[in-house]
């Protein structure tokens, strides 16, 4: 399974993803779900995926091949707008799904869902959710984040924190807490965790980190979040009868 989340704030874009693809009793596997495509000084794209790995790899391989081909009429280097890039990736995904389905008689699900984020020089940063059908929607000021995979466990903290005005670092901490909350409740999402920053107008990934459970920063973040949650819970208002009981105990 998978959990990936990306946030668009005024200062740029933040991406975070787990790497677990299988979580059987004796079969735990990992796979990189965050993929970076850069033409320094001109454009940068980050793609995260959830769904069939074979379909994902076909799409990514086509993107890399087209990008490396100076004679390609259509590639990540030829588009002038992020929306066109999202449509291009959606088209590759639909084609890969159809070709895979045509060559098998099994009931395998070849669908894949992707997050695309990045910036082309001259445009604002943009963030898109690309559906298996090839169509897409963009993040907005009202909903400045996008999730794929096991999204329900990590959604509440995003709803409370992610706003356009928050810093990239705060958005990144929120994304990691969202991943931690998901891993707490679902074993099919697991470490290592990948994190990437694309600041506005940098046109490149400026920071990319991988965190395991024992990575000092992540271990400290995880413990601090758990301790603060417990402390906040213990400070919640008491019921009326609890207050009366406490006063009686003092007499």
Domain with residues 3-213, CATH architecture: 4-Layer Sandwich (3.60)
pLDDT for 170-183, tens place per residue?
999 999 999 999 99
Q: How confident is the model at residue 247 (pLDDT cuts 50, 70, 90)?
A: low
Closest CA to 42 of 5, 80, 95: 80
Question: What is d(CA 153, CA 69) in angstroms, rounded to the nearest whole number?
Answer: 41
Q: How confident is the model at residue 186 (pLDDT cuts 50, 70, 90)?
A: confident
Does 192 sit behind a cis peptide bond, omega within 30 degrees of 0 on the bond before it?
yes
Closest CA to 58 of 109, 112, 11: 112
pLDDT at 26: 47
7 touches 180 (CB < 8 A): no
DSSP-based three-state secondary structure for 116: strand
pLDDT for 63-94, tens place per residue?
999 999 988 899 999 999 999 999 999 999 99
112 touches 55 (CB < 8 A): yes
Q: How confident is the model at residue 120 (pLDDT cuts 50, 70, 90)?
A: very high
Which residue would you say has higher pLDDT here, 250 or 174? Answer: 174
Q: How confident is the model at residue 104 (pLDDT cuts 50, 70, 90)?
A: confident
35 touches 60 (CB < 8 A): yes
Q: How confident is the model at residue 25 (pLDDT cuts 50, 70, 90)?
A: very low
pTM given for the model = 0.90
Give the residue-averaged pLDDT of 97-121: 85
| pLDDT mean across residues, the chain | 89
Give the residue-averaged pLDDT of 149-165: 92
Give the residue-averaged pLDDT of 136-163: 92
Other C-beta atoms closer than 10 Å to the C-beta of 105 total 6
User: What whole-number percentage of the chain has pLDDT above 70?
Assistant: 92
Task: Kindly list the domain boundaries of the chain, sorted by start residue.
Answer: 3-213
pLDDT for 208-242, tens place per residue?
999 999 999 999 999 999 999 999 999 999 888 87
By residue count, the chain amounts to 251
Can you give the three-state secondary structure of 129-164, one letter per residue? EECCCCCEEECCCCCCEEEEECCCCCHHHHHHHCCC
């Amino acid at each position: 399974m998978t959990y990936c989340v990306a946030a668009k704030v005024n200062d740029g874009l933040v991406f975070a993803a787990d790497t677990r693809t299988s979580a059987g009793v004796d079969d735990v596997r990992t796979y990189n779900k965050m993929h970076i495509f850069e033409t320094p000084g001109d454009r940068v794209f980050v793609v995260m995926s959830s769904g069939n790995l074979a379909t994902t790899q076909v799409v990514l391989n086509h993107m890399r091949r087209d990008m490396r081909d100076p004679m390609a009429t259509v590639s990540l280097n030829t588009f002038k707008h992020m929306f066109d890039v999202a449509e291009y990736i959606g088209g590759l995904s639909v084609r890969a799904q159809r070709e895979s389905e045509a060559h098998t008689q099994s009931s395998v699900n070849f669908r894949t869902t992707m997050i695309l984020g990045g910036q082309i020089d001259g445009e604002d940063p943009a963030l898109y959710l690309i559906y298996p059908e090839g169509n897409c929607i963009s993040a907005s000021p009202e909903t400045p984040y996008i999730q794929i995979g096991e999204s329900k466990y990590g959604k509440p903290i995003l709803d409370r924190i992610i706003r356009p005005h928050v810093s990239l670092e705060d958005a990144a901490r929120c994304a990691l807490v969202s991943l931690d909350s998901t891993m707490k409740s679902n074993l099919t999402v697991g470490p290592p965790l990948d994190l990437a920053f694309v600041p506005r107008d940098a046109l490149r990934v400026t920071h990319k980190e991988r965190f395991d459970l024992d990575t000092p920063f992540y271990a400290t973040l995880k413990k601090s979040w758990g301790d603060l949650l417990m402390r906040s819970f213990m400070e919640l208002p008491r019921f009326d009868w609890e207050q009366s009981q406490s006063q009686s105990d003092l007499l």
